[in-house]
Copies of this chain bind each other. A is one copy, B any other.
């Protein structure tokens, strides 16, 4: 199903080259000041144009169809639409027969018995995250805390001064490269989340893993915790408001916020679509053939991911506040 959340519900729809993409948001309190101008900053952060991003340029101007009246949310569902403009669909015809390695092409055709819209990845396109980012803006207003994110690594390198160089080299070799995003949420109250199934980690990871290209999620010191002793890993509580000396727990104990900043890291794989020649199956002939993917793709989708990760975290936290 393409909706998420019981308290703040996000329903996404649309295809990359179809009539548009969008989102319906439900559970928004009335009286929140909201306009297209509020949406633009985060939408701009997601846009292509920077280093390592696709040459497909979209204006990505949202239309607020419902749920806002006289500049304020009404409490009714908010629908936000984005037109598709800059589409070149004949790039994709070849991919029905030659499914891209590590892309959804092959599973989509199987799952939907050949009826999936294959143009630009259809409903599997990263373009669907436009609605997620718009939802994130509204969620941030609901959650009302400080959410920031940062690119921690590109291609395993954490020296930010090297990022441009790595990406440039990758692009010139018709390849792509992955990265790690860290997101920090500060200023949350104590007690958000539920034990077990609706732990903050559970709900947040659910959303984070719905972002295309995410293959790993860790909270606090994450996988590093598995290498430590309890005496090294435990966070000593040092104040009555619950402040801890270290924050290896990443702000969450027993699935519940402890008042310290939430820290989460997300592994983004390299874009599957690369111009570099690759072997793949010809689904008609059954032969393995060489595929050269045309079309316009991001050499490093991680560059556009921070604001999407923030949106996912905001939407997750909006379930609890």
Contact = CB atoms under 8 A, between A and B. Distances in A.
Given A3-B3, A20-B66, A236 B288 contact: yes
A151 B264 CA distance: 24
A104 interface: yes
A267 B218 CA distance: 8
Nearest to A166: B229
A235 B225 CA distance: 30
Contact of A18 (B69, B99, B257, B274): B69
Contact of A99 (B19, B237, B245): B237
Interface in A192-222: 194-199, 201-203, 205-210, 212, 214-222
A153 to B, nearest CB: 6
Given A21-B66, A199-B210, A210-B197, A13 B191 contact: no
Q: Which 8 A-B pairs have the closest CB atoms?
A: A104-B254, A156-B227, A216-B218, A176-B230, A76-B123, A225-B269, A201-B209, A111-B191
Interface of A: 1-4, 6, 9-15, 18-22, 24, 26-27, 30-31, 63-67, 69-70, 72-79, 81, 99, 101-104, 106-108, 110-113, 115-117, 122-124, 128, 153, 155-156, 170, 173, 175-180, 190-191, 194-199, 201-203, 205-210, 212, 214-223, 225-240, 242, 244-245, 248-250, 253-258, 267-274, 276, 278-281, 283, 286, 288, 302
